[in-house]
Amino acid sequence: MPVTPTSLDILRGPLSGLPGAITLAPVGGPIDAVVTPPGSKSLANRALVLALLGCGKATLRNIPEEADDIEVMLAALPKLGAKVTRLEPGVYEIIGTFGKPLGGATLNLHNAGTAIRFLTAACALSKEPVTLDGDSRMRKRPIGGLIDALRSLGANAEYVGEEGYPPVRVGGGDPESWENSVEFGPTQSSQFISAMLLIAPFLPHDIEISIAGEITSAPYLHMTAGMLSMLERSGGEDPVLGEFAVEPDASGAAPFHAANLIVSGSSITVSGIEEDSLQGDALFVTLLDSIKDGDRIRAFDADLSDMPDTAMTLAVVACFADGPSTIKGLRTLRVKETDRIAALVAELSKVGVVVEVFEHESPGGNPDEGIRVNPPAGGLDCTADAAAVAFDTYDDHRMAMSLALIGLRRPNVTINDPACVAKTYPRFWQSFASLYGG
């Protein structure tokens, strides 16, 4: 299905109308487009948890309700006792549980990492146990650091299956008796710490949260802290989120910023993300600016410890650089929607790019991983008779969105399972089609 006016109609249509694979064609010249990504999943799921626990009414706007990660969270809230009213598309009124979510539920949170981690902490406040589970991939994503922290406070938290991984059962204790401090050791996910921060305002007494060693993905903790600063106090001291509008997703914007470099001379504007954004990935455009040299992409050395969700996109940019590039700070990619390091090695090799994996020490002295991206000698083959290649996407939205960028320059590129973008950006292919004009 080459990208022609006819096939563009398919990309512009509903996600359900996509075939199992799409074949892209080069855009043929500079791109002039404006793109508005959906609301940030990271901001939205934090807002939804604060609304669930809130002591009153919250009104949330620009909720990316078609995204899988948000759908599972929205489905969970009524089961936990929140009153949820959809006022209009993307706008929800939520009356919270005053820090006491309803127990007794079993939640299937699919492969939504923020949902299962944040709700595991929230449900520890329930008077009756709650079981939280997910799909087969979720059962391979670690949650031990959070369970250990909850247990150290005195919360009831146990594994239903394999130690260290979902499913888990939490709740049924008395937060009044919890300890007043918790310490996190070096952890694979900042989401564990964010989960604890999100429930802290709703505990019956203050707690001190300390972190030993290096912080993983620190900007996400800054995001959580920024969200907490927006809590209002209803009835004197009771915290409630009140009014909150979710900003467009900076991680979803990354491929469109990258397209400006990959297709020389392009002018793609991503709207709606402010300079004072709470999203760490909003700085990705600054990184791209630093490696752009006219029509040339300079080989680079980058550390993405603070914005790992942009790594796949930056790896694709490196395929078009004028020499080998290194990307560090990637150890968390092993436990995302797929093993993203292994996926990049496999998929980029299909276009002659050699991706070497290496170990390194993080700035804090901890073990970490990185990749060296080696473009083919003479550059990527973007001639009309370039060999056909089909990229697998591993049911990973960010793999699909990133690998699609190669098709903007290289002919005969096929993306398998393009509908996997539903996880966070269901309208991605509609935005992508806008890059072709018309």
Is cis: bond before 26, omega within 30 of 0? no
Cα(2)–Cα(150) distance, integer angstroms: 52
- The 3-state DSSP composition of the chain as helix, strand, coil percent (nearest 5) reads 40, 20, 40
Cα(191)–Cα(218) distance, integer angstroms: 10
Q: Which amino acid is at 371?
A: I
DSSP state of 245: E
Of 281, 306, 309, 392, catalytic: 309
Could you tell me the end-to-end alpha-carbon distance of the chain, in angstroms, rounded to an integer? 18
295 belongs to the catalytic site: no
DSSP state of 37: P
Task: Decide: residue 12, CB within 10 A, 0-12 exposed, 13-18 middle, 19+ buried.
Answer: middle
Cα(295)–Cα(297) distance, integer angstroms: 7
Cα(218)–Cα(186) distance, integer angstroms: 12
Cα(37)–Cα(185) distance, integer angstroms: 35
Query: With contact defined as beta carbons under 8 Å apart, do 282 and 226 qualify?
Result: no
> Which residues lie below 8 Å from residue 387, measured CB to CB, with a gap of 6+?
381, 412
Q: Which amino acid is at 145?
A: G
Q: Is 61 helix (H, G, I), strand (E, B) or coil?
A: strand
Angle made by CA atoms 66, 69, 73, in degrees to the nearest 5:
95
Cα(195)–Cα(153) distance, integer angstroms: 14
Angle made by CA atoms 246, 9, 436, in degrees to the nearest 5:
75
Cα(358)–Cα(183) distance, integer angstroms: 31
Residue 367: which of 345, 323, 334, 404 has the closest Cα?
334
Tell the residue number behind the tokens 């791209």, with chain if given: 288
- Catalytic amino acids? 309
